[in-house]
Structure 1
Amino acid sequence: MPLASRNHLYALSACEASGDALGAGLVCELMKRDSRARFTGIFGPRMRAAAGSRYEQLYDMEELSVMGIGEVIKSLPRLLKIRKNFKTAVLERHPDVFVGIDGPDFNLSVELFLKKSGIRTVHYVSPSVWAWRSGRIHKIKAATDMVLSILPFEKDFYARYDAPCTYVGHRLAEEIPMEYPITAARLELNFSESVFKSNMVTAVLPGSRIAEITFLTPEFAEAAYLLQKSYPGMRFICAATSAAKARLISRLWREHAPSIPLTIWVGKSHAVMAAANAVILSSGTATLEAMLLKKRMVVCYIISRITAMIGKRVVKVDMYSLPNLLSGKRIVPELIQDDCNPVRICEEVKKIYTQENRDQMLEFARIHKELRMDSDARAAEAVLKVAES
């Protein structure tokens, strides 16, 4: 499409906080390269801030934030209605390209519909087809003109199926410096003098989704109770993605560990993790953040029983966290389902405070360097190439 005949309209859809961060970086870089760029779609707060006055929000990202088969089933009628209306609304606006950011269960269907209708499509963040339901590659290939991969080993998988894929690296590797001094983070969070000097500050991050928070916060709180029995001076800090989620975490924490103080910051996940000596967190993008910040961690995950039963039949990998997947070996502990309990969490956190692991830090640094590729710029260039092709 010649540049003069383009609409300079980019449709985007982000389904959760990590996608909002990727979308914000993409929006900024697209505006640098296309002075007439406008945006429409499903946005989170970071994408809205990046786009300024140049966006039209069709739906808020929070409306799509559900997790696990059980939770999706409950929300299915609402989600299907949103998806149907969203497809129609995007097609009516006829963007130069549609970019679905992660959220494959929602976005791939939108992409397939739009591509069949003549709209070019990009999927940003490959679904984990290399780990489970590999047959999805055929739908991905049919639905997209390009997949933007954030993990280096994914491009080879797509090449086996002759499916277009561009490895762009991960924006967090650019955003987070190779060294993030613990003192700078503690100053940013305005720690009290006694906590500032402590070498026993543990961060707890139970996730960005309601279901994750509901499943994990009680386990984290009861683990904190056990830990403080052994380490009376240990302090606990937390980051939440919104004020509402901070209130939910606070309520659940008080129910399960009423005698253990927890200080919660909203929108300060990098600083909270950087300020900590150890991190207990939900499996997901936060594990990558913790690794890039060179923090020793305990990765936890609990999903509904029905989701877990189905997952056991279809998952092809025996590691789940991004640090382990990127390393190709188990460099951080993973506590999944029944293993994710207060006693096991307490045991793993104690190892962090009593055992050195220099090799783990060296591996964290190696992966950090490998992921640094100016990913926002690479992603924007790939999207423009599809839009202008």
Structure 2
Amino acid sequence: MSDNTIVIVAGEASGDILGAGLMRALLKQRPDLKFEGIGGPQMIALGFTSLVPMERLSVMGLVEVLGRLPELLLLRRRLIKRYTQTQTHPMAMVGIDAPDFNLVLETQLKLNNIPTVHYVSPSVWAWREDRVFTVAKACHRVLALLPFEVPYYERHQIPATFVGHPLADVIPGPLTLQQARHQLQLKDQPVLALLPGSRAMEVQKLAPDFLAAAAILQSQMPHLQLVLAAANVQRHQQLLTLLQSYPQLKIALVLEQSHRVLAAADAALVASGTATLEALLFEKPMVVCYRLSPISYALFKRKLKVPFVSLPNLLAGQKVVEELLQHQVQPQRIANHLQTLLIDQAAAQNQRSQFQDIHQQLACGADVTAAKAVIEVINQCNKEFGSGCKL
């Protein structure tokens, strides 16, 4: 490892997008920078060295993580040893989301005078408020995607920068609805997009209900076209297996084309997460679902401090989209809400209008803003530590 190495640890597809954008912006400042840690295909395509597959960090839920805990703890110890017990320390570490994994790693690196940045604010304002003290110990700065997060950190004297979201800078892009439908070989008839998540657990818990709801809608609306988006090769195989139980369903399964699928859609059924933000930016009326194990959900609900869990509602500060959680995730219920969005133009337009306002707030040139913040942290820390290594 050279002294011009920046460590990035991202745990899922959305983190891969953020990491790749940050790398591009930093490389414009210093083309000789090297990047390693844990990342996905977009980061790897830019020269990133991923020490383990990013999929190993993609786990959600308090109970679900227990089965993977020994592996995750061993991996984290390996990374701490790699970056602290060598003569050459990395220039900085950027932990992208995955707070349960990254905050401990960041803390150990920070104790060794390595500049640390946490990209994507942990939802301390929503639940687990006590974790704000962990954030303060872990990183020199938080990069927040949402505008209301920075004042919260400022109240706790934690440096934070609002960067917006890089997806807001590139979506919807030049792809029109007609072009997307042509590329997906769809007719000029109503289209429903189904995005059941990028994690194996999400697809396992949500996809059967998504497909059952889609079957109900297609029986009621024979001309409705269904497009199922697989986030990666693993999810594609998982969904392909599930589809064998729905031989009557006329549905297109596409791989790694979620933006094209959303561009082509009239409405979307989405697992809560980054995909809801993507649907919002494409201005697609949506229904949001999520399901955890019963124990995980009970623990999560007890600590939840906000009335919503989906990003569109959190950003709007009010209920804009329907959220169906746990036992509410029922095929008929999902179908009823989606049918309203597909038929009632006023209901669909109400969501689209709210989405347009939110889009404007989030389009801030996030990649460049985040890179500037990382450079500031490196230079400030090196001045404090007496190092001459600056960007």
TM-score range, shorter chain: over 0.9
Question: Could you state the TM-score of these two structures normalised by the residue count of structure 1?
Answer: 0.94
- The equivalent residue for 2:297 is 308
d(CA) in 2 for partners of 1:285, 1:177: 15
Contact kept in structure 2, 1:10 and 1:38, CA below 8 Å: yes
Structure 1 residue 175 displacement after superposition: 1.4
Contact kept in structure 1, 2:172 and 2:263, CA below 8 Å: no
Q: Is the partner of 2:63 in helix, strand or coil? A: helix
Query: Which one is further off, 85-94 or 210-219?
Result: 85-94
* Correspondence 1:259 to 2:248: yes
Q: Letter of the aligned partner of 1:114 in structure 2?
A: L
Percent identity over paired residues: 42
Q: Is the partner of 1:196 in helix, strand or coil? A: coil
- The equivalent residue for 1:29 is 25
* Correspondence 1:161 to 2:151: no
- The equivalent residue for 1:89 is 82
Aligned pairs for 1:68-107 within 5 A: 68-91=61-84, 92=86, 93-107=88-102
Q: Is the partner of 1:94 in helix, strand or coil? A: coil
Structure 1 residue 7 displacement after superposition: 2.5
- The equivalent residue for 2:129 is 134
- The equivalent residue for 2:103 is 108
Structure 1 residue 252 displacement after superposition: 1.4
Q: Letter of the aligned partner of 1:242 in structure 2?
A: N
Structure 1 residue 278 displacement after superposition: 1.2
Q: Is the partner of 1:158 in helix, strand or coil? A: helix
d(CA) in 1 for partners of 2:207, 2:220: 20
* Correspondence 1:284 to 2:273: yes
1:362 to 349, 353, 357: 353
Structure 1 residue 178 displacement after superposition: 6.9
Contact kept in structure 1, 2:181 and 2:188, CA below 8 Å: no
- The equivalent residue for 1:20 is 16
2:117 to 112, 115, 122: 122
* Correspondence 1:196 to 2:200: no
- The equivalent residue for 2:218 is 228
Structure 1 stretches of at least 4 aligned residues deviating more than 3 Å after TM superposition: 177-180
Structure 1 residue 388 displacement after superposition: 1.6
Question: Residues 66 and 106 of structure 1: is their aligned pair in 2 closer, same or farther, counting only changes over 3 Å?
Answer: same
CA RMSD of aligned residues (A): 1.4
d(CA) in 2 for partners of 1:253, 1:205: 14
Gaps of 5+ in 1: 1-5
d(CA) in 2 for partners of 1:338, 1:269: 27
Question: Residues 228 and 359 of structure 1: is their aligned pair in 2 closer, same or farther, counting only changes over 3 Å?
Answer: closer
d(CA) in 2 for partners of 1:176, 1:13: 25
Contact kept in structure 1, 2:291 and 2:325, CA below 8 Å: yes
Q: Deviations over 1:213-245 (max 9, x none)?
A: 000010011111211221122221111121221
Q: Is the partner of 1:263 in helix, strand or coil? A: strand
Question: Could you state the TM-score of these two structures normalised by the residue count of structure 2?
Answer: 0.93
d(CA) in 2 for partners of 1:161, 1:254: 52
Q: Letter of the aligned partner of 1:274 in structure 2?
A: A
Q: Deviations over 1:286-340 (max 9, x none)?
A: 0000000010111000111110111121111111111110010111111111111
- The equivalent residue for 2:378 is 387
Structure 1 residue 83 displacement after superposition: 0.8
- The equivalent residue for 1:3 is none
Contact kept in structure 2, 1:131 and 1:317, CA below 8 Å: yes
1:269 to 239, 258, 272: 258
Structure 1 residue 179 displacement after superposition: 7.5
d(CA) in 1 for partners of 2:171, 2:29: 24
